[in-house]
Amino acid sequence: MENNKNMKKKVILNYQNLLHFLITIISLWLLIFFIRQDAFNYKFMAAAALLALTWLPFGVEKLFKIKIPVTIILVYFYFLILSLIGGVIFGLYIIFPWYDDFNHFLAGGLLTLLGIYIVSKLDNIGYLKFSLVVTYALFFAGFCAGIWEVSEFIISRIFAFDIQRVDVTGVNDTIIDIIMSFLGSAVILTLLLIDNKLYDNKYLEKLLKKFGD
């Protein structure tokens, strides 16, 4: 049993490294392609951001001398694929009008889980009440969503890209993004509240243990 568990962990780690390698190669290839095409547009910026964000978790680990759980890194990589490769570079945001809303909804839920993971590590003695933990997670997700929108605004102004589609929708696109992120958080928080009331945090503890694998 112990050998199977170690083998499973080894496979996950290899899968993480493989995914990291593939995203790095794809982002480098895209950068070279756009440079050769003299296409220094928003897709070029997305490819550059993809390369930087792919290496960000490992930079954080080195800088703060911490180990980010494999599960969180894998989910992070999947989100980069969905948002930057699929959404921006391959134009799924334009082809499917709902795709942007879906990504922000997904991000809201994932950021809420990440907030819970962070506060659970800070509160390793267990002094904080469940209500304070979920409140922190909600505000953490909202803060990250706000930072994302501010970053889009700054990039739009510096490079003259209309990432937030202000020319078309005014502030509607930004507000809808924030609302979708909040709804994603609300779904996760509702499930956590049900787990807390009916199962005494049974599934939350399993999830946190999975994050620690």
Give the DSSP letter string of 45-91. HHHHHHHHHHHHHHHHHHHHT----HHHHHHHHHHHIIIIIIIIIS-
pLDDT reported for residue 168: 59
Q: Do 8 and 90 fall within a single domain?
A: yes
Q: Do 47 and 109 fall within a single domain?
A: no
Q: Do 119 and 186 fall within a single domain?
A: yes
Name the residue among 107, 109, 70 with its Cα closest to residue 211: 70
pLDDT reported for residue 150: 82
pLDDT reported for residue 212: 61
Residue keyed to tokens 């930079």: 59
Q: Quick one: CA dihedral 92, 94, 98, 101, positive or negative?
A: positive
Name the residue among 56, 83, 85 with its Cα closest to residue 68: 56
Range of the domain at 50: 1-95
pLDDT reported for residue 161: 66
Q: Do 212 and 124 fall within a single domain?
A: yes
pLDDT reported for residue 131: 81
Q: Do 108 and 213 fall within a single domain?
A: yes
Q: Do 16 and 67 fall within a single domain?
A: yes
CA distance 183 to 185: 5
pLDDT reported for residue 175: 81
Q: Do 62 and 161 fall within a single domain?
A: no
Q: Do 79 and 124 fall within a single domain?
A: no
Q: Which of 42, 64, 95 is the last residue of a domain?
A: 95
Q: Do 90 and 102 fall within a single domain?
A: no
Q: Which of 64, 95, 126 is the last residue of a domain?
A: 95
Q: Which of 68, 95, 122 is the last residue of a domain?
A: 95
Class of residue 180 by CB neighbours under 10 A (exposed 0-12, middle 13-18, buried 19+):
buried
Tally of domains within the chain: 2
pLDDT reported for residue 124: 57
pLDDT reported for residue 5: 52
Contact indicator for 51, 167 with CB cutoff of 8 Å: no
Q: Do 106 and 137 fall within a single domain?
A: yes
Q: Do 144 and 88 fall within a single domain?
A: no
Indicate the residue type of 53: L
pLDDT reported for residue 51: 94
**Which segments in the chain show pLDDT lower than 50?**
1-2, 7-13, 125
Q: Do 172 and 189 fall within a single domain?
A: yes
67: region left, alpha or beta (phi > 0 left; psi from -120 to 50 alpha): beta
pTM reported for the whole predicted model: 0.79
